[in-house]
Amino acid sequence: MNKLTTPNNIEIIETIYKHSKDSLLREPFFEVVENEVKHLSTLCQLTPLQTVLFANAIILGYDSSKIQSIITHLGFESYKILSYKDEFKVLFEREFLRGERSRGEINPNHYKVSEYVIQKISNNQPFEIKEKEEMGFFDKLKEFNEVIEEVSNDSLPLELLLDKIDLLRSEFNNVSIFQEINISKFSNFDLFFFLKTLWDAIEAGDNDYNTNVHETTKTFYKSTNDQYRNIRFILNGNSKLIAYNYVALSKHNFRNIVYAGLSDAVEKLVHKYEGVQLGKMEDPNEELIQHKKLAQKELFYNPEEAVEVFKLQEIVMEKSFQKLQKNFEKKGLKPAVSVLFYGDPGTGKTETAYQIAKATGRNIMKVDISSTRSMWYGESQKLMKKIFTDYEAIRKEEKKCPILLFNEADAIIGKRREAGSSSLSETENAIQNILLEELENFHGILFATTNLQENLDAAFERRFLFKIQLKKPESLAASLIWQSKIPSLSEKEAQKLAEVFRFSGGEMDNIARKILMDELLFAQKPEFTKIWSYCESEHWDKNKELQKIGF
């Protein structure tokens, strides 16, 4: 190690990383990096072995973020992770690393390096590692929810969730709120469902029926028969949670999915003992898609699309949008944001609108375009005008300005037909004239999606403030989508599919559904050759020559 007045921690970490490759952690390696390891070990208060593992975790964390990658880099087979489980456990307990774990046991998947540690090391500063504080009530609930998410994503086995429930049952026995409720009479599923409902309310800051009954039950029960039997048990009011008035079900449902919240009695106990004020919002407007009920999805975009989408999302965030509206009005401009998403089918136009709504906390008034094309002449124009009248009334009622979504709007923003050619043409032209007029006076947020951008009527171009094209994913984005939809794919396999098959996200969904059906119905693991054959069959053009499988 070079003799420097102030050793550069990053260079030290790089040196340890480079020399540790394929070293198998043998004695000659430790002799070569003795000074570097000693410095970093003293700084972090770790053993030399823990220091080497941590240094590699920092470098490799920018690439794969997998514990196995560290073991492989050192030259070992993946199973050797078992030999170093205790060392990694210390790194997690001391919060040098954070990631997927349950009761201290490391799940050999993804990890991340503590932001505190990165900041100190990047700034070449020494740091103190504080002893881990005793977890409070809410911290325990949060950790429990993280375990639920891991089990739901099949990252952890259900047995670890059951262990966690048993642990919390004993730990919560002395908590006042649970003493009044008497959780000892709860089955494992009852306690699981109740704690999930409690955390969902606390996390959301309200008791507005945040817990999806179907998804929560399916996380706990892997058998389809058990899932639906217990879902019916809850919905029919036979569960102890319902019978003892601990959990309440929403009177409304979204897409036939029922949601649960805490009962008024439990809500009062949470306020009494934990000082948290939860309240139910007024019944949501049934004409709107509620943003809380939208499933959160990770979407992958091509680079130029990502810039546009994230910029739009920032614009319609509440604080930004209110500021824009005020400034627009001051300058005599229309206080509205109107956006056209255009591109091939299956490229994520509608889902992008949904995810922006979810991220910004805005509900959606979705318009079925076919409903505006009445068979009775003159009725369609009235329906179009009513859409905007209804939206304006809802906008004034809602706390946040909702999004008006014209989905698959090709029929009403396409090029106008020649006047007098037919009564249908006259009706469609009349609808477009009303739409143009309403857009001119529109206040709020409007999203529209279309597959036929080349057919867009010129009169609509200036009505849309933003026009964002979503294309089929390029190689990098496509590779990430493949891996997100079929996790068993290696990076190399995902890249191969991305290069050969120019699919939209929707087409990839089709493949993923077929693979899932094979797994669920026939217990078949998704072999790459099978995935490839499904990709080939997805093409309409059977005569199109495809690159042969292989690397």
3-class secondary structure, 339: strand
Q: Are residues 434 and 487 in the same domain?
A: no
CA torsion sign for 310, 312, 317, 320 is positive
Helix and strand element counts for the chain (H, E):
26, 10
| Nearest by Cα to 287 from 344, 349, 361, 365 | 365
Quote the pLDDT of residue 102: 42
3-state SS track over 130-165: CCCCCCCHHHHHHHHHHHHHHHHCCCCCHHHHHHHH
pLDDT of residue 497: 92
Tens of pLDDT along 204-251? 778 878 888 988 998 899 888 888 888 888 888 888 899 889 999 886
Torsion of CA 476, 479, 481, 484, to 10 degrees: -130
Question: For 107-142, how does the pLDDT look when each residue is reduced to its tens digit (9 = 90+)?
Answer: 545 677 766 677 777 776 665 555 545 567 787 888
* CA 369/CA 412 separation, integer angstroms: 8
Supply the DSSP string of 30-67, one letter for each residue. HHHTHHHHHHHHHHHT--HHHHHHHHHHHHHTTTT-BH
Q: For residue 105, is pLDDT > 80?
A: no
Last residue of a domain, one of 57, 92, 122: 122
Provide the domain limits for residue 505.
475-538
216 burial level (CB within 10 Å; 0-12, 13-18, 19+): buried
Does residue 307 sit in the same domain as residue 444?
Answer: yes
DSSP structure class, residue 289: B
User: Is residue 421 located within the same domain as residue 524?
Assistant: no
- Domain boundary (445, 469, 493) is at 469
Q: Is residue 42 part of a domain?
A: yes
pLDDT at 452: 74
Q: In the chain, how long is the greatest CA-to-CA distance?
A: 90
Structure confidence at residue 253 as a pLDDT band (50, 70, 90): low
If one counts the domains in the chain, the total is: 4
Domain assignment present for 546: no
Query: Alpha carbon 418 to chain centroid distance?
Result: 46
278 with 158, same domain?
A: yes
Q: Is residue 15 part of a domain?
A: yes
Q: Examine the domain organization and report whether 211 and 333 are in the same domain.
A: no
Same-domain pairing of 188 and 142: yes
* Cβ atoms within 10 Å of 541's Cβ, excluding its own: 6
Residues 206 and 279 sit within 8 Å (Cβ to Cβ): yes
4 located within any domain: no
Please tell me the distance from the alpha carbon of residue 476 to that of residue 488, in angstroms, as a whole number.
18
User: Is 437 inside a domain boundary?
Assistant: yes
Highest mean pLDDT among 21-30, 280-289, 329-338, 381-390: 21-30
> Rounded to an integer, what distance in angstroms lies between the CA atom of residue 53 and that of residue 49?
6
Average pLDDT across the chain, whole number = 81
Does any domain span residue 243?
yes
C-alpha distances (whole Å) from 154 to each of 107, 147, 194, 339 are 11, 10, 21, 37
Residue at 335 is within a domain: yes
User: Do residues 395 and 497 both lie within one domain?
Assistant: no
pTM for the model? 0.50
Q: Tell me: the pLDDT tens digits for 492-526?
A: 999 999 999 989 888 898 998 888 888 877 777 78
Residue 286 has pLDDT above 60, yes or no: yes
Length of the chain in residues, anyone?
Answer: 551
The answer to whether residues 175 and 153 belong to one domain is yes
Q: Last residue of some domain: 62, 87, 122?
A: 122
* Beta bridge partners of residue 102, listed in sequence order: 105
What's residue 493's pLDDT?
92
Residue 531 resides in a domain: yes
CATH number of the domain that 384 lies in? 3.40.50.300
pLDDT given at position 163? 74
Residues 311 and 437 reside in one and the same domain: yes
Q: Are residues 179 and 206 in the same domain?
A: yes
408 and 515 fall within a common domain: no
| Shared-domain flag, residues 442 and 309 | yes
